[in-house]
Chain A
Amino acid sequence: MTGAGLPWWADWLVGTLVLAGAVLALLGSWGLLRLPSFFERVHAPAVIATGACWCVVLGTVVFFSVRQGELAVFALLIALFIAITVPISTIFLMRAGLFRARQQGQDVPPHVSRAAPPGNGGS
């Protein structure tokens, strides 16, 4: 266990940021469990990828910067990477969900890119 020698304001700041991140992560996961349909559930983890991730990463940056006495921005790499990749994977997952819902004949919006005849069942 380390972390001794942190001034009180850094202690308070890191603790608040990490706790806020953990609470946001719990909220996002709870939404994932609780929302009724897939197209609503796909929104819930976004609060983890944005709010929780940025809070914990900023707490990490403050912790290592204060402890080492120099700016330690390496943890920001994680937040940047998550900010770039999570929208991509969510869009992929969303399109897979739409495709499968269309195949099962559920009431979802049709393709916009091509005017598919009814009953075609997608590509």
Chain B
Amino acid sequence: MTPMLSWALPLALLLLVLAMALALLRLLKGPSAQDRVLALDTLYLNGLLVMLVLGLVYGSRHYVEAALLAALLGFVSTTAMAKFLLRGEVIE
């Protein structure tokens, strides 16, 4: 590892895990259903960033493709849950 990345990447991972913990707290405590869906969406985004940083740590491109997959799944699940909250069913 190069001098700065050897401490910057673990520190970034630590900050991202802290961010995921905050989103998880909101997910557990959120007073309404839409708060929980929003927290889940934030959790997905943070997980995607963790995957990108892990790709830098291991120097592998496969993590980037996994992050793209996570972005896709996060969008579909958030939209489906928002549609469910709006209409009471996902596909009419």
Contacts and interface: CB of A to CB of B under 8 A. Distances in A.
Range for the number of chain B residues in contact with chain A: 35 or more
Contact of A57 (B52, B79, B83): B52
B3 A11 contact: yes
A93 B56 contact: no
A2 B59 contact: yes
B91 interface: no
Contacts of A60: 52, 55-56, 64
B9 A45 contact: no
Q: Chain A interface secondary structure, helix, strand, loop or mixed?
A: helix
Interface string B1-45: 111110011011101101110110110000011110111011001
Interface of A: 1-4, 6, 8, 11-12, 14-16, 18-19, 21-23, 25-26, 28-30, 32-33, 38, 41-42, 44-45, 48-49, 52-53, 56-57, 59-60, 63-64, 67, 72, 74-75, 77-78, 81-82, 85-86, 88-89, 92-93, 95-97, 99-100
CB-CB nearest 6 A-B residue pairs:
A2-B59, A15-B8, A92-B82, A22-B12, A96-B85, A29-B19
Given A3-B56, A75-B64, A85-B75, 6 more contacts: A21-B12, A22-B11, A25-B15, A26-B19, A42-B38, A93-B37
26 contacts: A11-B5, A14-B8, A16-B8, A18-B8, A18-B9, A22-B11, A25-B16, A25-B46, A26-B19, A29-B22, A29-B42, A29-B46, A30-B19, A33-B23, A33-B25, A44-B42, A45-B45, A48-B49, A56-B49, A59-B56, A60-B56, A67-B59, A78-B64, A78-B67, A92-B82, A97-B85
